[in-house]
Amino acid sequence: MSGSDFETLTRRLREATEWVSSGLGALSMLRESPSRLPELARYPLAAGGKRVRPFLVRTACLASGGDPARALGAAVAVEMVHTYSLVHDDLPMLDDDGLRRGLPTLHTLHGVPCSVLAGDLLLVEAFAELLLSPLPPQTLAAMAGRLARAAGPSRLAGGQYMDMNPPPSVDRLWVERMILGKTAAMIRVSLELGCMAAGRTPPGIDRVSSAGDRLGLLFQLTDDILDVRGTASELGKSPSKDSAQGKANLVTFAGLEAAEAEAASLSEEVADLFEALEGDWRDAVTLARFLPRRRS
Amino acid sequence: MSGSDFETLTRRLREATEWVSSGLGALSMLRESPSRLPELARYPLAAGGKRVRPFLVRTACLASGGDPARALGAAVAVEMVHTYSLVHDDLPMLDDDGLRRGLPTLHTLHGVPCSVLAGDLLLVEAFAELLLSPLPPQTLAAMAGRLARAAGPSRLAGGQYMDMNPPPSVDRLWVERMILGKTAAMIRVSLELGCMAAGRTPPGIDRVSSAGDRLGLLFQLTDDILDVRGTASELGKSPSKDSAQGKANLVTFAGLEAAEAEAASLSEEVADLFEALEGDWRDAVTLARFLPRRRS
């Protein structure tokens, strides 16, 4: 990966961040509601994060020859579903995290009841925002169905359940299955929704879906590596939570050195998968190559 | 209301219960998932309840000349959204309820983390089930958008937030606004989705929506009356929670006698609203007349 590739990726990530911010700043819930609840739900959304999922929606839409304006609702939706899962995950009786994206978590500021409800609202409004997109109704219905499946029992919610209820002895296959749900589901559906917003239909995006699953695994692997190596100030969250809680992840399994070698080889595999896809997927290729070097 | 009206209503409620049970027994999440999470989410759904919302979906569909088979996904969806809100509401740091529909609540059996997640799953799967309905895509997209708005910040979630965060001094108007969200939103959208499944489009269902809001208010008023008068064995839940928690409701405001008089007059108003609608709304009329006499 050259320095100019890295500069291009940085610029593209910034473009995607600005793009999705315009959508997140104009959420319909902020106009309609008589209560403070939407403001509470907006706090963890506005706290930032890397906006990787909106970036992937945009990248997939552009690579499929679509107009990103039509994919903005999908980008907002995936960021909202991702953020709902963080808000609920961080609750005291779940992961009990006090710091997220460098800021106090919602429940430390506003208590558990409001945080449960704000997470619920983010999930509901993800569907509301997606369904307001300027797209044909059959595309909207298909995209909403796919988002629901991605958030459902075989994917996001299922992975979170596995993470909270590990069997007495976990193996590598179990950890990968958990990651396919907990992390890869939203990475994959981001790519799928970007393609669909550009008019591509499901049979034609199966290879994109497969590449999305592998990218999700790579993303989690490099996250787990950072979790062991990083400090709170670099990460914006408490480091080494997994090891402190005795949770199995891809690094605790293989050790740091083997995990880093795996990340390097998986990075090449994922880059090849995207390079082989129809269309210009250069930004996804560069992201895959960059991930093993990420510092946050 | 005659004895035969009451018998017809009882039969119709039983028919609706059997009808929606067939849908709830065949949820796609029960087939797909590798984890126990869908079974946990199914427990509060299977616990029963009166299935008033599915009954209203069915009634509205039939009154609009539609085939109930096409509205089954909507009936399943409204019952799932309603149940998600109960599961999260009953959590220890929220309403802290140990008994619901005559059975121990989910968190008393499986803990808080699983209950947060099972509630999330019910909400996601409501959209998934609705979107699997055998209806034209433009109808599905419109119905899913309406369900999201009903569950959102101006309606269900907003009403729950108001309930959890009352101002220092509440007035009658505040309580009515809370009920419009917390209870009426799902009553109203049940009627709307039933009409839409039968092919009726939004401008034509505005009067149904208004009747739904008034029916929701009547439903909550008679629920609050029961809450004061009832016993746990009749209600299947802990009685007088509101007064024990010092929460304002329509009875604590006006006193029991005035509330009963209001229920009788509101019951007639709602019956008239449904009688004036196009189509055969007899079952909704009978329900409105029956509500002041309900014992559970």
Contact yes or no for B290/B9 (Cβ under 8 A): yes
Contact A34 B112 (CB under 8 A): no
Q: How far apart (Å, rounded) are the C-alpha atoms in residues A281 and A270?
A: 12
* Domain limits for position A103: 3-293
A·B CB contacts under 8 A: 166
Mean pLDDT, chain B, rounded, equals: 92
- Report yes or no on B282 lying in a domain: yes
Sign of the Cα pseudo-torsion (A226, A232, A238, A244, in order): positive
Phi (first) and psi of residue B91, to 5 degrees: -60, 150
Q: Please check the confidence at residue B65 and state whether its pLDDT lies above 80.
A: yes
Contact yes or no for B147/B193 (Cβ under 8 A): yes
Residue B95 distance to chain A (closest CA, Å): 9
Q: How far apart (Å, rounded) are the C-alpha atoms in residues A285 and A60?
A: 12
Total domains in the fold of chain A: 1
DSSP 8-state assignment for residue A98: S
Among the listed residues B40, B124, B29, B111, the one whose alpha carbon sits nearest the alpha carbon of residue B80: B124
* pLDDT tens per residue, range A173-189: 999 999 999 999 999 99
Query: Out of A33, A153, A160, whose CB is closest to B33?
Result: A153
- Report yes or no on B242 lying in a domain: yes
Q: ipTM greater than 0.90, yes or no? A: yes
Q: Which residues of B touch A38 (CB under 8 A)?
A: 153
Contact yes or no for B224/B258 (Cβ under 8 A): no
pLDDT at res. B64: 97
B138 three-state secondary structure: helix
Q: Please indicate whether residue A192 or residue A228 has the higher confidence score (pLDDT).
A: A192
* pLDDT tens per residue, range A286-295: 999 999 998 8
* pLDDT tens per residue, range B218-264: 999 999 999 888 755 565 666 566 666 667 788 888 889 999 999 99
Closest residue, chain B, to A30 (C-alpha): B153
- Element spanning B66, H or E: none
User: What's B143's domain CATH number?
Assistant: 1.10.600.10
Mean pLDDT, chain A, rounded, equals: 92
Residue B30 distance to chain A (closest CA, Å): 9
Contact yes or no for A262/A250 (Cβ under 8 A): yes
- Element spanning B69, H or E: none
pLDDT at res. B271: 98
Contact A152 B121 (CB under 8 A): yes
Closest residue, chain A, to B81 (C-alpha): A124
Contact yes or no for A92/A112 (Cβ under 8 A): yes
B66: Cβ contacts below 8 Å, ≥ 6 apart = B194, B195, B197, B198, B199
Among the listed residues B80, B72, B201, the one whose alpha carbon sits nearest the alpha carbon of residue B151: B80
A199: Cβ contacts below 8 Å, ≥ 6 apart = A64, A65, A66, A139
Q: Please indicate whether residue A2 or residue B214 has the higher confidence score (pLDDT).
A: B214
pLDDT at res. A197: 98
* pLDDT tens per residue, range A248-282: 788 888 889 999 999 999 999 999 999 999 999 99
Q: Which two tokens stand for residue B63?
A: 């009154």
CB atoms within 10 A of CB B7: 10
E-state strands within chain B: 99-100, 103-104
Can you give the pTM of this predicted structure?
A: 0.95
* pLDDT tens per residue, range A198-218: 999 878 899 999 999 999 999
- Report yes or no on B114 lying in a domain: yes
Contact A120 B32 (CB under 8 A): no
Q: Which two tokens stand for residue A22?
A: 């315009």
Contact B152 A32 (CB under 8 A): yes
Lowest mean pLDDT among A103-112, A231-240, B99-108, B248-257: A231-240
Contact B132 A145 (CB under 8 A): yes
Q: Please check the confidence at residue A87 and state whether its pLDDT lies above 70.
A: yes
Contact B123 A120 (CB under 8 A): yes
- Report yes or no on B296 lying in a domain: no
A48: Cβ contacts below 8 Å, ≥ 6 apart = A101, A102
pLDDT at res. B5: 86
Contact A153 B32 (CB under 8 A): yes
Q: Which two tokens stand for residue B117?
A: 């997640």
Phi (first) and psi of residue B221, to 5 degrees: -60, -45
A94 three-state secondary structure: coil
pLDDT at res. B231: 56
pLDDT at res. A253: 80
